[in-house]
Structure 1
């Protein structure tokens, strides 16, 4: 599984390349669009990585393990911000 840092670095690299091309062409509108898209995609990707991490954790013991419903409840709380 790829690390969180590697995935986010790949995302940044993709946007950085496009941003630099727009900057070279003095396309300020494209630069602003890329900035906004990068922030949106970074947030969405971090949420997906949090979900991946949430489901990747193995329960300590079957009797005390987190049920699927408990995991979904934790995900709902995470999505609501608390």
Structure 2
């Protein structure tokens, strides 16, 4: 499994290349759009990585019969906090 740092670095590299091209072209609007898109995508990716990490952790005590629905309900409760 790829590390969180590697995934986020790849995302930044992709946006950095596009941002540099927009700067060279003098497109301030495109640069602003890329800044906003990067922040949005970074936040969504971090949330997905948090969920991945949550499922990767072994439970302290095995919960026999915990269905996928019960796990999703637990995630929903955690997200509301």
TM-score category of the 2 structures, normalised to the smaller one: 0.7 to 0.9
Query: What does 1:1-82 align with in structure 2 at a 5 Å threshold?
Result: 1-62=1-62, 67=66, 68=68, 69=70, 71-80=71-80, 82=81
Aligned partners of 2:72, 2:4: CA distance in 1, in Å? 21
Which runs of 5 or more residues in structure 1 are unaligned?
A: none
Q: What is the DSSP-based 3-state SS (H/G/I as helix, E as strand, rest coil) of the residue aligned with 1:60?
A: coil
TM-score normalised over the length of structure 2: 0.84
Which ranges in structure 2 are unaligned for 5 or more consecutive residues? none
Alignment RMSD (CA, Å): 1.9
